[in-house]
Amino acid sequence: MNLLDETKLLLKKYHVHLKERLGQNFIVDEGAVERQIQYAKLCRDDTVIEFGAGLGTLTKVLIENSGKVIAVEKDSLLAKILRDRFTQKNLEVIEGDALKITWPSFNKTVSNIPYSISSPLTFRILKSDFEVAILTYQKEFAERLVAKPGTPDYSRLSIATYYYADAEILEVLPPKSFYPPPKVDSAVVKLTPKIKKPFSVDEDFFLNTLRGLFVHKKKTVKNALYHSREIFGFKDGKEWKKILNTFIPAYLLEKRVFMLDPEEVAEVCNILKEMV
């Protein structure tokens, strides 16, 4: 039985109504699943966490190729299906919201990320201790992960990813790789944490600086920071503008935000950190 037929059978058996679960797309491409395993180079020493395990198509192969699998699933019915389908001792099913629960320790993650939580989940993964992540996203989101300065997809996500990890799009999956097929292509991405960060910053302040800048990404740095001044604890626009003009070099203030390279953002961040 192929994965598409197996998926339909499981949905029917457990009375899973897709119309009530908008945005849930289950992978049915066997070749794509096998390649995800290969990309992660799994072995029996690995503890793998899977976010949004769904019906367990990927989970099944993870169990067969790693030492332990932690399957995180928010949907209670899908969590029940996982427990019913798999009784192997190396599987732990956690029913809960991946954004809210405490994650057990793991060294790898292989997941078809729920598209609706791609950004916050990715930020949390990036800040975690792991060796490699093989993650399937909506293609448009994946392109933001690897975007370069000055390109339309360049964003705070691009810079945060650059700071924490090396990111590579490994392949693009068409809609037919999932059931029901989404209206967009998907992409498999590999994230490998950087052993040494590319620059030194206060991480929380850096992420706040990114947020303040890129909410106005097409404005100049001066205007973006002016409009985001409350993020840095300032309500008085005149005082804040004076600080910016005094301490941040003019060549940075006049640049458009989306033209800044990550090192320039770090420079702005470090200057602001000393001033506020």
In the CATH hierarchy, which fold is given to the domain comprising 203-275? Helicase, Ruva Protein; domain 3 (1.10.8)
Long-range contacts of 21-24 (CB under 8 A, 24+ apart): 21/75, 23/114, 23/115, 23/116, 24/54, 24/75, 24/114
CA distance 211 to 217: 10
Residue 236: the pLDDT is: 85
Q: Give the whole-angstrom CA distance, residue 232 versus residue 56.
A: 44
Domain ranges of the chain: 3-193, 203-275
Asked if the bond preceding 104 is cis, omega within 30° of 0, the reply is no
C-alpha of 51 from chain center: 11
Half-sphere exposure of 124 (CA within 13 A, CB side): 15
Note whether 160 and 126 are within 8 A (CB).
yes
Nearest-10 crossing angle of helices 262-275, 237-247: 120
Closest-CA residue to 56 (of 132, 3, 115): 3
Q: What is the pLDDT of residues 25-64, one digit of tens each?
A: 999 999 999 999 999 999 999 999 999 999 999 999 999 9
| pTM value surpassing 0.85 | yes
Compute the distance between CA of residue 34 and CA of residue 25 in angstroms, rounded to an integer.
18
Looking at residue 21, its pLDDT comes to 65
Model pLDDT for residues 70-94, shown as the tens digit of each residue:
999 999 999 999 999 999 999 999 9
pLDDT at 19 over 70: no
Please report, rounded to a whole number, the percentage of residues in the chain having pLDDT higher than 90.
91
Find, among 268, 255, 124, the residue nearest to 199 by Cα. Answer: 268
Q: DSSP per residue over 173-215, as a string? A: E-GGGEESPPSS-EEEEEEEE-SS-SS---HHHHHHHHHHHHT
> How sure is the predictor about 17, in pLDDT bands with cuts at 50, 70 and 90?
confident
DSSP class of residue 104 equals P
Would the pLDDT of 262 be above 80? yes
Query: Exposed, middle or buried: residue 4 (CB in 10 Å: 0-12, 13-18, 19+)?
Result: middle
Looking at the domain that runs over 3-193, which CATH code has it been given? 3.40.50.150
- Residue 214, pLDDT above cutoff 70: yes
